[in-house]
Structure 1
Amino acid sequence: MIDSADVTPLDGRVARSRRTRAAIVEALVGLLEAGNPQPTVEEIAARAGVAPRTVFQHYADREALFAAVSAHREAHLQELMGAIDPGAPLARRIEEIAAQRARIYEWIAAVRRGALLMEPFSPSVHASLEAFRAAKREELARVFAAELAARADAGERAALAAALGAVASWSAWDALRAQQGLDVEAASAALRLTLTGLLADRAS
């Protein structure tokens, strides 16, 4: 039989470890959102209020830390996706997709830029980004299934699906926001206009 005096210290250590891990993840996110796309371990530790060695005690390397950030944010990403009815009028679906992408991309912007810098060197970051890209393409295929099905030729359907994926991607959004300097409203308007141009004559 385990004495309660043995259980309590163990539970306390587990709780402290969880708090420390969470603080480290939040520190990395905070630094990314503050405009530092590649914070050092020392910067992360200082913001989390721990020693640099503590970071490595909880996360073996930067890849493991970025993987923890991805897991930490996954649940909220699903909330931001929302639920779009594929049977709604086309104009409404286009409006809702544009709003969805604006919500998601503005929320992930800072972390996404940091992840993109790590992607060529990190299998787990690459896998996480690829999974998210695939999920966004699948969402477009679901929401605009009627317009895609209206294309009798398989090659045309594939081309339309690829075009939708490109114009509603993070890369396109970042080009509108960062490169062209558009605000969220103007970038959303550009996305709606492009989607309408691709889809308006495909309505069933």
Structure 2
Amino acid sequence: MLDSADVTPRDGRVARSHRTRAAIVEALVTLLEAGNPQPTVEEIAAQASVAPRTVFQHYADREALFAAVSEHREAHLQRLMGRIDPGAPLLERIDAVVAQRRRIFEWIAAVRRGALLMEPFSESVHGALDGFRTAKRLELERVFAAEIAARGERERATLVAALGVAGSWSMWDALRVQQGLDVEAACAALALTLRSLLDGR
């Protein structure tokens, strides 16, 4: 165990820098979750209890800050994904996918909307969102591999594309925001869509 004599001033500065960076990231997330999709640097600084110049000292621009938010939340996002058994009965897998998408999409909603506003102007934000889209689509292909393989060669690509749309953030956001459904109703709509695609019910 270190005593105070073993801790150099540089160690203290590094620790403070880490705390400040974390506070700035948490401030941005807090503002996004409060309904502010494009908070200013001044708003982020005020929420983090730092000066605006401090934000720029740690993050060169908003793109770097959003990249830090993405990295900060990645581990929890992977836990929310969980692991669905592709050998389980179809209806159980559908229910598991619906629960998975509910967990993920409700958790990321506020940050995702902010990121979407930045995506056309930010290569790193676009890369993060595109990677997440691919991961979600591949997860559906893994979980429903048996049903996909049972289709004819030409129909498989169509089914994969339809599943990708059904299990996407865009679909969930349309149900929750554009159609004004509550979480349970959105889950029911998603489950119905997946059943219709996979077993015709």
Q: Would you say same fold, with TM above 0.5?
A: yes
Residue in structure 1 matched with residue 175 of structure 2 by the alignment: 176
Pairing 1:44–2:44 present: yes
Q: What CA distance in whole angstroms lies between the structure 2 residues aligned with 1:74 and 1:133?
A: 14
Secondary structure of 1:148 counterpart:
helix
Cα deviations by residue, 1:156-198 (Å, 9 ceiling, x for unpaired):
1010000000011000000000011101100000000000000
Residue in structure 2 matched with residue 56 of structure 1 by the alignment: 56
Q: Aligned-pair distance for 1:140?
A: 0.2
Q: What CA distance in whole angstroms lies between the structure 2 residues aligned with 1:145 and 1:130?
A: 22
Residue in structure 1 matched with residue 67 of structure 2 by the alignment: 67
Q: Aligned-pair distance for 1:80?
A: 0.2
Residue in structure 2 matched with residue 197 of structure 1 by the alignment: 196
Residue in structure 2 matched with residue 135 of structure 1 by the alignment: 135
TM-score, normalised by the number of residues in structure 1? 0.95
Cα deviations by residue, 1:79-109 (Å, 9 ceiling, x for unpaired):
0001100000000000000000000000000
Q: What CA distance in whole angstroms lies between the structure 1 residues aligned with 2:112 and 2:136?
A: 15
Q: What CA distance in whole angstroms lies between the structure 1 residues aligned with 2:120 and 2:5?
A: 49
Q: What CA distance in whole angstroms lies between the structure 2 residues aligned with 1:65 and 1:151?
A: 44
Query: After the TM superposition, which parts of structure 1 deviate over 3 Å for at least 4 consecutive aligned residues?
Result: 4-7
Cα deviations by residue, 1:51-84 (Å, 9 ceiling, x for unpaired):
0000000000000000000000000000000110
Quick one: percent identity of the two aligned structures? 79
Residue in structure 2 matched with residue 147 of structure 1 by the alignment: 147
TM-score, normalised by the number of residues in structure 2? 0.96
Query: Unmatched 5+ residue regions in structure 2?
Result: none
Residue in structure 1 matched with residue 110 of structure 2 by the alignment: 110
What amino acid does structure 1 have at the position aligned with 2:185?
A: A
Q: What CA distance in whole angstroms lies between the structure 1 residues aligned with 2:67 and 2:75?
A: 14
Query: Unmatched 5+ residue regions in structure 1?
Result: none
What amino acid does structure 2 have at the position aligned with 1:188?
A: C
RMSD of Structure 2 on Structure 1 (CA): 1.3
Secondary structure of 2:8 counterpart:
helix
